[in-house]
Structure formats: C-alpha cells, structure tokens
Amino acid sequence: MKVTDEEPMEQSDSHGEGDEGPTRAKRCKPDGDRILRPVKLSRDDLYKPPTVEELNQLKEAESLFHCNLLKMQMEELLKEVAISEHRKQQIDSFIQSVTELLQKLPQTPHVELSDLSWLTGGVKVPFLLVPKVTKGKFYMAPPTSVTVIGSYPLGTCTKPGISVDVAVTIPAGVLQAKDAVNQSYPRKRALYLAGLAQHLGSSTAIGTMRYSCLHGNRLRPVLLLTPPGSSSFTLRVHVCPPPGYFKPVRLRPDKNNIRTEWYTGLRRPQPDMTEPPTPHYNSSVLGDMLPMAHLQFLKAVSSQCSAFAHGVALLKVWLRQRELDKGAGCFGGFLGSMLLAYLLTSRRVSNHMTPYQLLRNTLHFLASNDLTENGITLAKDPDSTAPSLAEFHNVFQVVFVDPSGHLNMCADMTACTYKQVQHEAALSVQFWDDPTVDGFHALLMTPKPMIRTSDHVFQLCELGKLQATCKNLNLLSELMDRSGNYILTALPFILSLLQRGLGQRIRLLTHSLTPDPEWPVECDAPQHKDQPPVSFGLLLNPDQAATLLERGPPADSSKALEFRQLWGSRSELRRFQDGSITEAVVWEAENTQQKRLILRQIITHLLQLHAGIPESSVRYIAAILDDVIKVGQEECSTGEEESLTVVQSYDDLSRKLWGLEGLPLSITSVQGAHPALRYTQVFPPIPVRLDYTFFDRHPVTRALIPNEDKPCPMYITPIKVICHMEGSGKWPHDKAAIRHIKAAFHITLGQLLAEKYQYTCQPSATHLDVWKDGLVFRIQVAYHREPQILKECLSPEGLLLLRDNEEAQALEMATIHQPVLTSTLHGLQQLHPCFGAVCRLAKRWLGAQLFHDDISEDTADLLVAFIFLQPAPFTPQVCPFTPAEPVLPHTISPRVTPSPPGSSQVGFLRFLRLLSCFDWSNNPLVVNLNNQLTASDYTEIKNDFMASRERLPVMFIATPKDRKLSLWTKQAPSIQILQRIVIVAAQSLKVLEAQLMDPSQMQDVKVIMRPPLDAYDVLIHLNHKQVPTLKQAVDRPRVIYGQGVLRDMAIKTGGALPVIGFNPVTCYLAELRDAFGDLALFFCDPYGGTVIAVLWKPKAFNPVPFKTGQIVARHLGGTGDRTHTVPNVEAILEDFRVMGHGLVKSVEPMTERWVV
Amino acid sequence: MAPSKTKHAEKACVISEGFTVLSLKFKADSDSQHNIFVKEHLVRAGQTPQRPLDTTLFVLNIPPYCSEGTLKEIFSQFGPVKSVELREKPGSFEPSESKLSKYFTPAQKQGFRVGYIVFTNSHSITKAKLHPLNVPLLVSTEQRPVLTGLNKWINQYKQSITEPDKLQKAVDAFMQDYDKEKEQEAERQKEEAEKQQEDEEGWTKVIRGKRGAKARPHTEVANKRVLQKESRKSKELINFYTWQQRNTQKEYIAELRKKFEEDKQRIALLRVQRKFRPY
C-alpha cells in the first residue's frame, strides 16, 4: 500500500440514504473540484441594473445575517433535516395501515387487573410491577380514537431518528374514576399497550415491535413500530385516557395519589399523619390527558407564524448537538415548540421573523431567564383550580406551565439540566455575536458530547447502590412519587450535595440524562439498575479547582455545625496566620498532577459519607492519559514541576547575561526559543549529574564523549536561547563577516560566564553551550539586521534588491519567529495552567503515531493554542480588553468566566477533534495569539488564502505575525500525510472516547498511542541499547540501560562538559533521508521509538530512463533492458544496515506488501 | 534482484550514453552491490584546469559512505589519482569556499553523489572502463576500514567539539583579511572620488565607473518609496458629483453580488461534501 491509497477526507459518508440521488451524483465529481477558487463574474454580470427583488434579497442578507453565507447555510441545514415527500408518503401509508389494524382490535372478557392469562404470544407487560398488588378490572376494547399527535402533524419533525407519535385513546369503559390512585391507571395503560402489541404482532404490516418509555418515565411506556423492511422512521404508540377523564384538581402537585400503605405494604404506624404529595406521579398522569390539547394549541400558534416549523427544527438541532434532547428530564423538541409558542404568544418575538431570528431570540431568552427561580406559564386565564406558579416552584425544580395551567412540562428536569441549557444558550449567543467565530458551524454543526465538553467526568456505576442511597438520605416519599425509580429519586439530592461540596471549585455541574430504555415486546421491562451508568460532568474554575484548603466558618459561628456535617471527620479546627480559628478541610496533593485530582478526593469522600456510595462504584475519568507523559519512573509527577525548574534556571541565566560587563556591544534581548521554555516540551529536561567514568574524554577540551562500547548516554537536550546584540555601525555589512563576529561573541560570552560564574562553556561558530544546574543552554547570538543582509543582492543595474531566500528564512525563523512564539505561548500557559499538559499530550500522540517530523513541535503547539484561544463551541475564554471596541470602566466585568479546556484530557480530545474535522483544504486556521487580529483581519486572511490557495501549504496556519505564508507548515505535512493524520486522529478520537466513557472496556487507553506497523514496507528494528530516549516509550521497556547518570546526587555547577544533543537515532534518520529521501519516507517515534518504519514512495519503483540526474541508488532494470533503471532494493536494504552499523538490530522487509 | 544476471560476465558492461557499469560492495562479505556508472568527463565548453578532459573520470551513484579519500584509494588500482571531487549534482566546477575555515563551512548533505576523479594518466580511464562488472570494487577493507553508523557519529561528535582558541584564531585571521579588504575598498573609492573632483581649471573628468559601483542608498525599497510619493494624488472629493454617487452605488451592488456568488459557490461545495448534516 502506498500513501496515496488512503481514502480522501470524508467525515460522514457512512449514512448513505436512498432518497438523495442528486447529492450523491454531485459527490462523485473529481477531487479537483474540492478546492474553492475565487469567483470570476463578467463585467456585464456585475454591473447590470439590479431588479427590486434582487436588491431586497441582497439587503436582507446584509442586515439580518452577518452575510449571505449564514442565511444559505441555515437553508441548507433545514433542507438536510427536513423529511422528504417520499418519506412522508411512506409514513402516512404506514399510519393508515396501523390505524386500520387498531380499529379492528377485538374485545376481550373482563378479568382481574392482576390476571395476565389473556396475554398470549409471549408479549410481556411493559411495566415494573412494584408493588405487585393492584385491584381493579380490565378488558381490551377497540380504541375510541387513534390520532397522530406531536411533531409530525405540526411539521416540526426532523431527521435523524424520525419518530411519529400516535395517541390511542382507551375507551372510557376500561377505566374508572378512581384509577388515578395507586398506579391503577398507569398499569391499565401498560396492559392496554401490551394488548395492542399482541394484536399487532399477528399482522404482516408491522416490521418490528419494541417497547420504550416516554422520556425515561416508566409510568408512560410506548410501543415502537416500524414497517417491514429497513426503515428510517418509527411510530410511537401512546395510550391516553379520554380527554378530561381525570379531574385536574385531584392531580394538583400538592395532592397525594400513591398511598404509603399500598406502596410499602405495611400498616401505617400513625393513621392520622397526612400522606406526602406525589407531584411527579400526578404530572405524569396529567401529561397523558393533554397531548391533543397541546397539539391544537401549537397548531394555532404555528399557523400565525410561517417560520415556526423551521425555527423549532433549528432549535431541535441545537439541542441535539448538546445531547439535551433525549432521556429523563430532557429539554426535548416538544418543550422547544412550547417555548417558541410562549415567546410568540407573549410577543417577545414577532410572527414575521425568520427561523434564524427565532432561534437567536429563543437562545437569548433561555440565557437571560432562570426558570428555576421564575417559572413561566402559557395559561392565559387558568381556571381557579389551577395551582399558582409558587405552588409549582415548591415541588418542582424547573417550572414551565402548559396552556391548561395544570401541568408543569418541566416536571422531571433537574435544576442542573436547566442550568446547563442556560449556560449553553448564553455561550451560543456570545459566539453568534463574535464575528471571528464561525457561529453556524460552532452552534449547529458541532456535537458536544459530555466527555469533550466537561473538564472532568465521573460515572456512577453499579446503579443498584443508589437504592441504599435513597434509604440513607431518607427519601421514601420521593421514591413513592417517582414510582420506585431510585436513580431519578437520588439524582437531585446527589447533585445538590456535590454542588454544595464543590462550591467555588466548579463553574457548572452537568449530568447525563438517563436514556430511554428500549426492549423487545417479548421481554420484561429492564430493571433500573441495568441502566447505563450516570455520568456527571464538571466544568472547573481554574483558580479554585486545585486549592488544597477548604476554609470554613469560624468555630463559634452558627454555620460551623453545617460545615462539620457536610465534611464529616475531614473537618478540623485550624488556626490561620491572620489569627482566626476556623473549621477547615485540607486535602493531600504533592504535585500538580495530584492537585488536579483533588476534586476526585472530594467527590468520593462526599458520596461515601452522605450517599453511601463506595469509592469502587465511582469511575473518575480525568488524567487517565497523563501516564504517557510522566517524567521519571518512581515519582508520578507529570512534568509541570520539571518545566518550572528549567524556566527558573533559564531566568537566572538570562539575568546573568544581562548583568555581564566587558562585552564590546551590549545585549538588547535574551529570548528563549525552545519548547521547554514555554512548558510544552513533552519530556522536559531533567537536571542530571554525570558519571564521568562512563565516558571518554576529548583530548584537548576534556569534554565528555560517548564511548563506543557502552550504551548510548543520556540524551541531554540543548535548550535554545537567542541573545540579540545591540545594533551598531561596527557590525560588518557582509554575511561571512557577521558570522565570524558572532563566533567571536560566542567565545567572549563563554569566557565571561566561565570567569564570573564558573559555568562550563563550549563555544562554537554557531552557538555557545552553557552547562548550568545540570542543564545545557545553547546560546545563539543574533544581529537583527542579518536576515536583511542575507536577502540583499545587486541587480546588474546596480540596484540593491531584497530577495527572500532559504537561508534568510531559516535565520528569521530561528532568531525572530521562534523566540516570539515561545514567549507568546509562555504567556498563554500563565493564563491556562493546563495548556502545557495538552501540548505535551498532543505531541506525545503525534510522536507515537510517527507524525513527529510532519507536524513540527511549533505547529503542534499552535494547534493546541487555537483550541485555547478559540474554544467555540466549548466554553470560551473571555477577553476583557477587546481591541475592537472601547472598553468602558464599568463594563470590564466579564460575562462568562474565563478558561477553555480545564484539564489535559478534554484538551487532548478537542485537539484530536480539531485535527480530524477541520477542513484544511478550504479554510485557513487562524490562531489569534494575544488577540491581535480583528474581524476585518480575519476576512483579509481568508481572502488572501482563497486567492492563492494552490500555492500555499496544505495545512495553513495564520498568526498575527504571519498572515500570508504559514511559516510553520511550509515544509510539512504533505497532502498524503495530512490525509493520513486526519484519518488516524478520527480513529483515535473514536476509540479513546469509547474507552473513556464505557466502563466495560478494558482500561488500556494507550492503545491510541500504538501505531499499526503493518502499513509500512520495511521495518528497521533498532538496538535498544543505543536508543537514548528508551525510557520515554509508551510501553516502558523492561530492561533499562545505564546512561552515565548518577542518581540522587545534588546538582553542581561546573565540571566537564557533558555529551550534548547526541542521539544516534536522529543521526541515522538524517542520513537515511539524505540518501533515500527520493525513494522512501522514514517514520520514527522520537520518544523511545525502537522501530524506524519505511514507506516506499508511490512512484519509486517505476522504471526511469537512464539520466545522469536520476540515478540515485538505482541499477539497470530487468533482463536485457539497458536503458531504464529501477531502485536497487537489495543494495538499499544492505545500506540501511551499513549506515546504521551498531544501531540497527535487523532490517525486516515486509515483502508481502510490495513487489519490485 | 541481483544485478549480475547479465551474460557479459567477464566483459565490461557498457550502456547507453557511453557509461560503463561497475559494481561496488561495501565489504567483501556484503550480500548485495551497488551499480556505479563511469564515463570519461566530456563537456562542450568550459574546460577547467581542475577537470582536464582527458584524465577525468565522471562517476555516478556514489553511495554516501564513500568519502573523497575512500574513492581515491578505490580508484588507485587503475593508476595514480590526482584529485577527487564529490558533488551532489553534476555541474560545472565551483571553487568551494576554501577561504573559510572548517568551522564556518556548512555541513553537506550525505546522499548519493557524483564524482570527478582526476587521474595522472589518461590510460587509467580506459583501464577503469574495462573493469569487469562481476568483480566489485570494495569500499571498506581490512587495511582501510570505513567508519559507518555509531562509530561514525561518535567520531563526528568528537570533531564537532571546537577548541575555543583555535576558533578564535580562525576568526581573527578572517577578520584581519576582511579589514584589509575593506581598507583597500575604501581607498579605491576615495581615489575615484578624487578623480572626479574639479581640477585647477575647473574641469571635471567624467569617467565610466564600474558597473554597480553606484552610491549605496540606491535601493529597491527607496525607489518604491519615491514612486509611491509621486503617485499619491492631491485631495479629491469622492462623492460629490451625481455620477460619482451613482458609481459608488453601482460598485456597492457589484460587491454584494460578488460576495453572494462566492458564498453560493462555497455552499455548493460544502453541500457536495455533506457538511450540512447535523448528525
């Protein structure tokens, strides 16, 4: 297989569907059409007189949307989610046949409610019969009516997962007025549904039949029907009582309809005690009676507003991308429609708005209104029996009352879910106002699964344990109200407990919505404990999250008791420096990595203490990947401390350089130009002390030299520091002379440093190595006019021209761009403490997947910086000083608190997502470092990019300092490699997310760090002894060789110069690429990789006519052919061995993959 | 794919364009061999003293581990070798920047190279071209082992460690030369300037200066700046006359249309790529 054989970039072509013929035909266009070219309109087209219609259209696009693009994008999106006419016909005919079948339901004799003998055919009742006993009679009878309800008749039904709701009304005779009490009605409803299933089961018009329940509410099972054959829609059969059958007064939220005596089966000890209210049970019964009324109401509203259906569709897409539209207590499409209806009827939006405006206003309303405090109602003039909003607020967390005034449509929603909706809405509104963000894409097209959204995620496994929690927290009456669903019962209490315990450490607590279970009609309803685990997401507050101390109230205050109760034995009295004595909790953490996991300590402690959930059933998902960037073997630090040591040592060196006296010219700047100086080096250099006996010595300078017979010595990274010298007339105006002057500076600097501070220095023509604190700094003197001088050349007319050339570019990169990038990213790290960790994880992954040489360290850091600078649609960073608009003193307070990815894991996931989903061929990636670019700059960059796409690098990254060239990606990656990176990133993301979220998977997340080697043509196995970075391998080696380093010794300054930057593997790779770069690609993991993978270039083996220029490593081809040459593979393989003598263990040609 | 399947085993192997194929092995016990292609050096124009036509052998496809010294030894079997020149690509002779000391010469690419081997006698070339294909030349032998791999890199590392005083000396030597050159240049310019001054009778002698010896500030950047200044027109009212306003409006609509077209194209492209599926 050659590199080009990879599939082209495609995100979602696995969802092929039948009815999209034209789109598919278009997709088959050749690849060349994938790239945008600047539009060329003829002069006549451009300047012809406009028609009124056209003028209006253009104007509308300008004023309502940011640009045409958004409007058209919306239209396209709506087309995608709309149901085609063909599909509608299928649905209608299926509804027709099901309705007819249902009308023919035979009547059965009356039986006792508990007698299920009439049910045959293996059909089970979709109900958890706890407690078992119920009184009452039951029989099947043909339904009084079968009506289509919900989104389908309203026109708001959208793809994917089309579900059409059908309400089947139970004949009044089957029910009794008292049935609302003690679950009689829900049980009859379930039985009736089972009866329907039994009846439909015999028909051939039905494909599959499964049970499910509405929004996770077990009292409201539904029957899912699909037509025979594969189908993309399902029919949901609901069973309803006749409208108005039960009196709403009896179902008020303060009424009791489940008797304790019946539920527990015990005689009540005090017969005079009042029964607890059962608001959730009541509202679920009420909800069954109202769908027809709701449909009528919505129909009336939507007939007034032409964009209603489209507005709802957009809102549904928005909710769906945020995983808010399904499960128990969800904010589903129905609520969306109702909310829009509320906004329309209360005149907050007008009937003439476009779908886009409707969505925007809805989001704005959500963001600015807190339904947990101030509920809203659709009831215009509710009758006197309807409860007031305050009454609703007493029992429900979120209140949104339906048009009848009796039902709270948000009964099951937790406050946390609403807060999440609110948070998302606020973010979305903000992104839409930001012209630098592609709002459409961020808000409607990007999925936001919890694992990628929340900084930390934890799961409660073994949900059965929550039963004990309910008992612990004394939640019997709530359990009764929720009909025994202990998960939903315990959830609000756990949430409030965590909220109290985590307090300021987090900004948002979210939880996954228990998905609607689905099961075949022949099976019993699944138990609650068989549900998938509940996941909780935490959005951290970076300043507070890692605090060791939880300071409570003073010991004598009234709140002290409360604090002690919350924290239990962990709370202790402490005396602080300011003299106060307060309650406090102190958590243990030694390094940054452990500090990041303090939240885990808190959560497990609280859950154990109050909810009786053992630590073993809490699955905390954060920092699982940190293992691969751990430094050293014994201690488990992840390198933050080490980076800090390096930076401190550098700061010291920089101070000393500034202070040097006796230089002919003064120093104007000292800048770091190395990843270690911005906290992004995967394995930051560790100070070492050397074992001199391990090395040979240089005969003159006494510097250490590796010994041929010993293992390769420890790799000591030279940390690059650029030292600019003052400009002066004394600098020569000639490139060779400048280089000599620089060398002289290196010598002088070295002498001064050695004299004054006793550092061992090693000057050379290009740099000065300083051995300091067990680290090596490589100082490079720079002269700011040198690149300019390199560019100068004389034209024949004697005109001085400036012509860019490679040498000048390389010098500019080293002395200007890299130092600036380093200091900018260093600043970013100060703002976002986990920036470094994300960079390091990302680079470790790139290295492990053998892409290290294609995406340079600087490029990778920039990509990660992009995630931090433009996290949309995820939580953004705030820019207190927007350069575009004047900041008034009182508006400085930020709207949303700062910090994008708050943990390395979520940052890494977003990095993978960025790599795999960004449309590199048509978009520039703009990394707005220091917020220097304005909206107009963005447009300019984009236009420049479009105008000269073909000439620009395939991966285009623009920064404020580099808007047109993409300096960092000029050399690599190539288009083939980029395609491969995209594919590998997508796969890694998929695998990793599955591993993280699914507790049943084997927990080895390192699988994404192990590349498949069977895709390569030749493998060169290296001698482990000579790989200096062996210890950094993803899978730590079993045998570790001595590397000439003394352990546990104090670091001293001075002594012999160590072996600096000596890595046989890099030497070997460089030689291989020099010699065979035209024939093959070479890949290697720089962090402890012991295999070099070789891939022949696709055209390498084509016979080429004999030419003096194209003869590298070739010999005459085939028999008798004396004019063509082919690569001399055997000799090349031999050369691999010869050139890597001492390093190469074996060369393994994977000949099954290729033939010559 | 051993290359020695040819039937002309005992004879020299001559191919198109007058090249002769020789084989080259790294060591006596190596399994496979490289083909190198040799031919007498032949150029139409530009014969240089460094590459005399009759005694220079042009060699193609020299593996990276063959240095000048190694090649000299290998080809000595055909007669005494005067000099060996290795280059990345065939081309005319360029003096290497021999002025610079070793510390300042950039490192060379270590790929396959071409070589120009200058023999003392011209019959050595014929001898080399008659060398049979199945007797490979050996790069590394017992007597003169060629370092590769780890040993080579360690050696390289050792070489890269510079002795400060030697470096200083190299720098000093270069700067002395440079200063001298500068002085000479300055003197020459002074002389020229003197020449152009008026003589006693008020005459100025106009002489043709050397090409490119004009005064320094004559640069592209300066030229551009001047041009820009000239082209900058005086202030003008833009939206004053009716026709001007009409034009502006026309331009505006054209701009909108262009944008609209661009967006349409963009959408079409995204649609093709199915970028509008929110699932």
Residue B196 lies in a domain: no
Residue A1114 lies in a domain: yes
A984 pLDDT exceeds 90?
Answer: yes
How many beta carbons lie within 10 A of that of residue A291, not counting itself?
A: 18
Cβ under 8 Å to A: B residues 190-209: none
Q: Are residues B20 and B149 in the same domain?
A: yes
Interface check for A27 against chain B (CB to CB < 8 A): the answer is yes
Residues of chain A positioned with their CB less than 8 A from the CB of B216: 800
Q: Where does a domain end: B160, B175, B195?
A: B160
Domain that holds residue B96: 13-160
In chain A, whose CA is at the least distance from the CA of B217? A800
Q: Which of B158, B164, B261 sits opposite A39 (nearest CB)?
A: B261
Q: The tokens of A1123 are what? A: 């004019």
Instruction: Chain B: give the shortest CA distance to residue A848, in Å.
Output: 24
A27 pLDDT exceeds 70?
Answer: no
Q: Are residues B128 and B246 in the same domain?
A: no
- A33/B272 Cβ within 8 A: yes
Q: Where does a domain end: B97, B130, B160?
A: B160
A45 pLDDT exceeds 80?
Answer: no
For chain A, the domain total comes to 3
Half-sphere exposure of A630 (CA within 13 A, CB side): 18
Interval A621-672: pLDDT, tens: 887 787 777 776 555 567 788 888 899 999 999 999 999 888 889 999 999 9
Residues of chain B positioned with their CB less than 8 A from the CB of A920: none
Cβ under 8 Å to B: A residues 736-755: 736-737, 739-741, 743-744, 747, 750-751
Residue A561 lies in a domain: no
Interval A186-212: pLDDT, tens: 989 999 999 999 888 888 888 888 999
- pLDDT at residue A1126, as a whole number: 82
CB B1 within 8 A of CB A1156: yes
Residue B214 lies in a domain: no
- A1144/B149 Cβ within 8 A: yes
Supply the angle between the helices A598-606 and A486-502 in degrees, to the nearest 10: 130
Residue B166 lies in a domain: no
- pLDDT at residue B244, as a whole number: 87
Q: Where does a domain end: A245, A265, A287?
A: A245
Residues A590, A593, A598, A599, Cα dihedral to 10°: 180
Dihedral pair phi/psi, residue B137, rounded to 5°? -75, 150
Mutate to test the interface with B, among A1130, A1145, A1156 (most CBs of B within 10 A): A1130
* CATH code of B127's domain: 3.30.70.330
Residue B278 lies in a domain: yes
Cα(A459)–Cα(A441) distance, integer angstroms: 30
3-state DSSP assignment of residue A413? coil
Residue B83 lies in a domain: yes
Q: Are residues B154 and B53 in the same domain?
A: yes
- B104/A736 Cβ within 8 A: yes
Residue A324 lies in a domain: no
In chain B, whose CA is at the least distance from the CA of A1122? B15
Instruction: Chain A: give the shortest CA distance to residue B140, in Å.
Output: 11
Interface check for B112 against chain A (CB to CB < 8 A): the answer is yes
- pLDDT at residue A116, as a whole number: 80
Interface check for A701 against chain B (CB to CB < 8 A): the answer is yes
Cα(A35)–Cα(A1072) distance, integer angstroms: 35
CA distances to A29, B138, B140, B144, B211 from B28, rounded to whole Å, are 57, 7, 8, 13, 59
Q: Where does a domain end: A245, A273, A293?
A: A245
For chain B, the domain total comes to 2
- pLDDT at residue A888, as a whole number: 33
In chain B, whose CA is at the least distance from the CA of A1071? B110
- pLDDT at residue A300, as a whole number: 93
A268 pLDDT exceeds 60?
Answer: yes
Q: Which helix or strand (DSSP H or E) is residue A979 part of?
A: helix A975-997
Residue A711 lies in a domain: no
Residues of chain A positioned with their CB less than 8 A from the CB of B170: 740, 743
CB A508 within 8 A of CB A420: yes
Residue B145 lies in a domain: yes
- pLDDT at residue A8, as a whole number: 39
- B220/A796 Cβ within 8 A: no
Interface check for B28 against chain A (CB to CB < 8 A): the answer is no
Interface check for A1104 against chain B (CB to CB < 8 A): the answer is no
Residues of chain B positioned with their CB less than 8 A from the CB of A1062: 153, 157
* CATH code of A120's domain: 3.30.460.10
Cβ under 8 Å to B: A residues 791-810: 794, 796-802
A950 pLDDT exceeds 80?
Answer: yes
Cβ under 8 Å to B: A residues 37-56: 38-39, 41, 45-47, 50, 55
Dihedral pair phi/psi, residue B87, rounded to 5°? -140, 160
Residues of chain B with pLDDT > 90, as a percent, come to: 7
Q: Which of A73, A445, A1134 sits opposite B26 (nearest CB)?
A: A1134
Q: Over chain A, what is the mean pLDDT?
A: 84
Mutate to test the interface with B, among A790, A1115, A1143 (most CBs of B within 10 A): A1115
Of A1114, A1143, A1021, A1134, nearest to B27 (Cα)? A1134
For residue A887, name the pLDDT band (cuts at 50, 70, 90): very low
- pLDDT at residue A40, as a whole number: 66
CA distances to A19, A23, A75, A159 from A88, rounded to whole Å, are 12, 20, 20, 12
Q: Where does a domain end: B111, B127, B160?
A: B160
Residue B49 lies in a domain: yes
> End-to-end alpha-carbon separation of chain A, Å?
13
In chain B, whose CA is at the least distance from the CA of A29? B272
Quick check: ipTM above 0.85?
no
Interval A353-394: pLDDT, tens: 888 889 999 999 999 999 999 999 998 877 788 888 999 999
Residues of chain B positioned with their CB less than 8 A from the CB of A1123: 15-16
Interface check for A982 against chain B (CB to CB < 8 A): the answer is no
In chain B, whose CA is at the least distance from the CA of A739? B104
- B214/A68 Cβ within 8 A: no
A3 pLDDT exceeds 50?
Answer: no
- pLDDT at residue A396, as a whole number: 92
- pLDDT at residue A882, as a whole number: 32
CA distances to A564, A711, A800, B41, B240 from A632, rounded to whole Å, are 40, 19, 55, 59, 75
A271 burial type by CB count under 10 A (0-12 exposed, 13-18 middle, 19+ buried): exposed
A1119 pLDDT exceeds 60?
Answer: no
Cα(B105)–Cα(A626) distance, integer angstroms: 44
* CATH code of A595's domain: 3.30.70
Domain that holds residue A1111: 1013-1153
Overall average pLDDT of the A422-426 stretch: 91
Instruction: Chain B: give the shortest CA distance to residue A593, in Å.
Output: 36
Overall average pLDDT of the A1006-1035 stretch: 88
Residue A936 lies in a domain: no
Low-confidence ranges of chain B (pLDDT < 50): 1-9, 211-217
Residues of chain B positioned with their CB less than 8 A from the CB of A58: 253, 256-257, 260
Interval A65-83: pLDDT, tens: 555 677 788 888 998 889 9
β-partners of residue A1083 are A1093
In chain A, whose CA is at the least distance from the CA of B105? A765
Q: Where does a domain end: A245, A268, A295?
A: A245
A-B contacts at Cβ under 8 angstroms: 279
- pLDDT at residue A817, as a whole number: 92
A62 burial type by CB count under 10 A (0-12 exposed, 13-18 middle, 19+ buried): middle
